């Protein structure tokens, strides 16, 4: 309980980085659903390539980056890391600050990482947290200067899988039985995303971390999100590198093809060069500029 009280203090005092007032709050002020009792074993380590990593996350939080002179749009950011770690800076706070420059409020989710030690059902922890984040942002939209009908999700790699799960599983409330909760994001932004858990082009590392080493065929299909698109799936922006050897470009292509079949507005950019995570190519300004252009054109 002491941890929750300390985290809750951020809602009152906030903190400032890079000129923007930010707050960090616990995702669940009281009991965390689908969790087992135990110690908080979270670790945070620096890494020269990706700046910061969060391991063994079992106490999820939201970090809110309000935009000065905001335009009402908000993006909920889900960092990547193969469901084994979270890249909380490069694919989190850094991107949030860039959204702020365009009048867009950003919310970085430090979601739980799947673990049989901390969860009753490891595969449900991340989607529970992502849906709860969306619910909180909608319920506090007026307070944070957000239009509740302009809230999207953005995910990188495995975070892209989680974002696409939010965008395709919104008819299932994994946290609550309340019928009045709108769990459908208004748009999705998927950056070199893991989409499929199939053996052909799915990312088996993310699959094993989320579902376990011997997942059932039912769970593989359930969380292969190219199979879950329908006419209500939100408009989507995808970007990938054709030379990605970690998460094959077929993930984005399969998702885009199904979006087209269901007549969902979508845009995809495939770069001929570049590695997973776009560490060197294409430069951030290139692909992120296309994201902003897409958003400004009207989602």
Q: In this model, does residue 53 exceed pLDDT 90? A: no
Q: Please give the DSSP secondary-structure letter assigned to residue 124.
A: G
Under 8 Å between Cβ of 47 and 53: yes
Residues 257-272 pLDDT 10s: 999 999 999 999 999 9
- Nearest by Cα to 267 from 233, 290, 242, 244: 290
41-45, 92-96, 293-297: segment of lowest average pLDDT? 41-45
Query: Distance from CA of residue 25 to its chain's centroid?
Result: 17
Q: What is the β-pairing status of strands 15-17 and 105-110?
A: unpaired
At 119 the pLDDT is 93
Burial class (CB in 10 A: 0-12, 13-18, 19+), 189: buried
At 45 the pLDDT is 81
Query: b or e along 123-157 (b: 16 or more beta carbons within 10 Å of the residue's beta carbon)?
Result: bbbbbbbbbbbbbbbbeebeebebeeebbbbbbbb
Report how far residue 282's alpha carbon sits from residue 299's, in angstroms, rounded to the nearest whole number: 24
Residues 145-197 pLDDT 10s: 999 999 999 999 999 999 999 999 999 999 875 667 899 999 999 999 999 99
Under 8 Å between Cβ of 161 and 198: no
- Give the confidence band of 3 by pLDDT, cuts at 50, 70, 90: very low
Q: What is the β-pairing status of strands 105-110 and 151-156?
A: unpaired
Report how far residue 11's alpha carbon sits from residue 29's, in angstroms, rounded to the nearest whole number: 11
DSSP helix/strand/coil, 153: strand
DSSP helix/strand/coil, 130: helix
CB atoms near residue 20 (< 10 Å): 18
DSSP helix/strand/coil, 112: coil
Residues whose CB falls within 8 Å of the CB of residue 46, separated by 6 or more in sequence, listed in order: 52, 53
- Percentage of residues of the chain with pLDDT beyond 70: 90
33-47, 157-171, 236-250: segment of lowest average pLDDT? 33-47
Residues 112-147 pLDDT 10s: 999 999 999 999 999 999 999 999 999 999 999 999
Tell me which architecture the domain covering 2-31+41-296 has in CATH: 3-Layer(aba) Sandwich (3.40)
Report how far residue 42's alpha carbon sits from residue 244's, in angstroms, rounded to the nearest whole number: 30
Q: Where are the beta strands (DSSP E) in 202-275?
A: 236-241, 266-271
pTM of the full structure: 0.91
For residue 282, whether the previous peptide bond is cis, meaning omega lies within 30 degrees of 0, is yes
Residues whose CB falls within 8 Å of the CB of residue 294, separated by 6 or more in sequence, listed in order: 237, 267
At 180 the pLDDT is 76
Q: In this model, does residue 13 exceed pLDDT 80? A: no
At 49 the pLDDT is 57
- Give the confidence band of 51 by pLDDT, cuts at 50, 70, 90: low
The H or E element containing residue 90 is none
At 55 the pLDDT is 83
- Percentage of residues of the chain with pLDDT beyond 90: 80
Average pLDDT, whole number, for the chain?
90
Report how far residue 250's alpha carbon sits from residue 188's, in angstroms, rounded to the nearest whole number: 18
At 10 the pLDDT is 40
The full set of domain ranges for the chain reads: 2-31+41-296
């Amino acid at each position: 309980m002491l941890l929750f009280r300390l985290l809750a203090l951020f809602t009152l005092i906030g903190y400032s980085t890079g000129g923007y007032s930010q707050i960090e709050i616990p995702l669940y002020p009281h009991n965390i659903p689908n969790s087992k009792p135990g110690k908080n074993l979270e670790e945070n380590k620096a890494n020269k390539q990706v700046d910061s990593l969060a391991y063994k996350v079992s106490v999820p939080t939201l970090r809110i980056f309000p935009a000065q002179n905001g335009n009402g749009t908000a993006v909920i950011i889900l960092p990547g890391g193969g469901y084994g770690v979270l890249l909380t800076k490069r694919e989190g706070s850094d991107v949030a600050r860039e959204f702020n420059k365009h009048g867009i409020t950003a919310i970085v989710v430090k979601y739980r990482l799947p673990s049989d030690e901390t969860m009753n059902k490891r595969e449900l922890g991340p989607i529970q947290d992502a849906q709860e984040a969306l619910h909180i942002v909608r319920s506090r939209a007026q307070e944070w200067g957000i239009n509740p009908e302009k809230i999207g999700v953005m995910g990188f790699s495995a975070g892209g899988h989680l974002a696409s799960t939010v965008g395709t599983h919104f008819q299932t409330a994994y946290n609550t039985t309340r019928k009045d909760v709108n769990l459908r994001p208004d748009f999705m932004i998927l950056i070199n995303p893991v989409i499929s858990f199939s053996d052909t082009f799915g990312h088996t590392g993310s699959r094993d971390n989320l579902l376990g080493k011997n997942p059932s065929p039912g769970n593989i299909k359930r969380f292969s999100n190219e199979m879950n698109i329908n006419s209500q799936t939100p408009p989507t922006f995808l970007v990938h590198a054709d030379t990605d050897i970690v998460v094959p470009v077929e993930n984005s292509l399969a998702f885009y093809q199904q979006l087209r079949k269901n007549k969902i507005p979508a845009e995809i950019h495939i770069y001929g060069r570049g590695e997973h995570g776009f560490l060197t190519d294409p430069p951030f300004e290139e692909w992120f500029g296309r994201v902003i252009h897409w958003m400004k054109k009207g989602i």
